[in-house]
Amino acid sequence: KTLVALAQKMPKTELHLHIEGTFEPEQMFAIAQRNQVELTYKTVDELKAAYQFTQLQDFLNLYYQGMSVLLHEADFYDLTMAYLTKVHSENVVHVEIFFDPQGHLSRDVPFEVQITGIYNALRDAEKKWGITSKLIMSFLRHLSEESAFETLEQAKPFLKWIDGVGLDSSELGHPPEKFINVFQACRDLGLKITAHAGEEGPPEYVWQAINLIKVDRIDHGNRALEDETLIAEIKKRDLTLTVCPLSNLKLCVVTDMKQHPIRAMLELGLNATVNSDDPAYFGGYMNDNYTALIEKTGINKEELFQLSKNGITCSWMDQITKEAHLKRLD
Ligand code: HPA
Ligand code: ZN
């Protein structure tokens, strides 16, 4: 119990968060109504009852449906502000959030509409509460590299608001090597690079993320633990793993929270961090993720501090901001 209180109080960062995955059913229905869009599910309860997944794709099908009610700048603003309000109440001091432009461009929602809504909410939350942030545009890996290149073109007028580029959606069958050229173009533009790898995909996909995409960090990375040489490589390169405990449980990446590998990752000396991924779909925000770890894995106080510290040091904040946050940890 005291550990739960400690975790709630700790300054936290969120480094793996899809803003479309924070879409709570109540808000989804409200915006659907406002935009006169029909949802497949008729009630909040019916929708929530469908949140039972046996693999990543089950979730993605609902995730793309859910985001389809987002049409206007105010929708993106309201979604982002609701998330920031929530995490502010949980002592989250810094967020690095993903958005999926192709999931909206496919419905003719302009890039500018999406990013302006999201960016304005990030800016307002920083003014109001001092929450700092980075914005990461993700490419959908089930689409082509050509589509990713077109998205990058759309992003070019807004690069001042974009800190990094990610790779998400259906992992199996869509290895990082499919996107070598577009990530090289992103790197040439000075953008940070991250990619989902080793969530469902094999260690080979993590190798590709490192060697071909040249990632600055790895999202999930669970299956890297199957390959000792890969573990050594991740350590050598000092790469971060953005781990998502409740997501792993809901998507059956782990069968039981008691078996979650995050303590093993810390034991191996890996830079693991705790994140909520798609909290509206996976049963909880940052504090819920920590609570699950505390209640099921026997994680101790030192490990909790290490995770909080990793969240700060492994973020893309500048060094001065990191040091200011780290001071508050002592
Ligand atoms: N994995 C892959 N794609 C995603 C995820 C995830 O956990 N969340 C949103 N898009
Ligand atoms: Zn994710």
Q: What is the complex's ipTM, to 2 decimals?
A: 0.96
Q: Report the CATH number at residue 181.
A: 3.20.20.140
Give the C-alpha separation, 68 to 39, whole Å: 9
* 47: phi then psi, degrees, rounded to nearest 5: -65, -50
In single-letter form, the type of residue at position 124 comes to: D
**Is 330 within the bounds of a domain?**
no
**Is 323 within the bounds of a domain?**
no
Q: CB of 49 within 8 A of CB of 55?
A: no
pLDDT above 90 for 325: no
Q: What are the Cα distances from residue 222, in Å, to 49, 233, 237, 238, 288?
A: 28, 15, 17, 16, 20
Q: CB of 329 within 8 A of CB of 29?
A: no
Q: Indicate the number of domains in the chain.
A: 1
For every residue of 8-25, DSSP letters joined together read HHS-EEEEEEEGGGG--H
Give the C-alpha separation, 246 to 243, whole Å: 9
Residue nearest ligand 1's atom 3 by CA: 169
Q: What is the mean pLDDT of residues 214-230?
A: 98
**Is 325 within the bounds of a domain?**
no
How much distance in Å is there from the Cα of 103 to the middle of ligand 2?
A: 14
**Is 329 within the bounds of a domain?**
no
How much distance in Å is there from the Cα of 219 to the middle of ligand 2?
A: 7
Q: CB of 47 within 8 A of CB of 89?
A: no
Q: What is the pLDDT of residue 327?
A: 87
Residues with a known catalytic role = 199
- pTM here is 0.98
Give the C-alpha separation, 195 to 197, whole Å: 6
Q: What is the mean pLDDT of residues 285-306?
A: 97
Range of the domain at 197: 2-315
pLDDT per residue as tens digits for the range 64-95: 999 999 999 999 999 999 999 999 999 999 99
Which atom of ligand 1 approaches the CA of 247 most closely?
7
Give the C-alpha separation, 235 to 256, whole Å: 26
**Is 98 within the bounds of a domain?**
yes
